[in-house]
Amino acid sequence: MSGMNPHLGQDRMPGPGPTIEQETFEPFLKDQTFIVRRGVVIEKDSEDAGHTDLEHKLRPGCVVVRIETGANKGKYVPVDHASAPVAASVQQAGILEGVVNMRKKDGTDNVEDQHALIVIGGVIDQDRIILVDATYIEEVKAALPLCHFILDPV
């Protein structure tokens, strides 16, 4: 921990930050060579339907798609979000690289749009990505041509 600021938590924000147990997730990347897109905006009402332990947080490995029409055009949401394009209309997609906390930084339970890193290239364990609606898998693969999706034998 030498060289680290003792007043910053694990998420490099002031305070103690989340515990390691809260932030431990199954890795979806098969190696450490991957490509990310920085600064994508995750729409504030995005939720991770299968993640009940940490409210208003999206897990790493959650597949997000870009909204193509309406007031939130250009923002990203999980595929089960009301504003997500239908599977056949997915143009841009990504996989969240880390946890995204949708809460405002003021300590309230209010949510706001958040910036995130999404993986757009690399070797991906298809069984470990979070894709609530499986009908999207082929379209997500097509929208991520730099990703190589593999299925680990059980």
Residue 20 in domain:
no
Residue from 121, 141, 123 nearest 131 by CA = 141
Residue 134 in domain:
yes
How far apart CA 94 and CA 117 sit, in angstroms, is 9
Residue 131 has pLDDT above 80, yes or no: yes
Quick one: residue 70, left, alpha or beta (phi over 0 = left, psi -120 to 50 = alpha)?
Answer: left
Q: What is the pLDDT of residue 23?
A: 53
Q: For position 124, which CATH number holds?
A: 2.40.300.10
pLDDT digits 0-9 by tens, 26-85: 789 988 889 999 999 999 999 987 766 667 899 999 999 999 999 999 999 999 999 999
Number of domains, the chain: 1
Residue range(s) defining the domain that contains residue 129: 38-150
Residue 132 in domain:
yes
Q: What is the pLDDT of residue 4?
A: 42
Residue 89 in domain:
yes
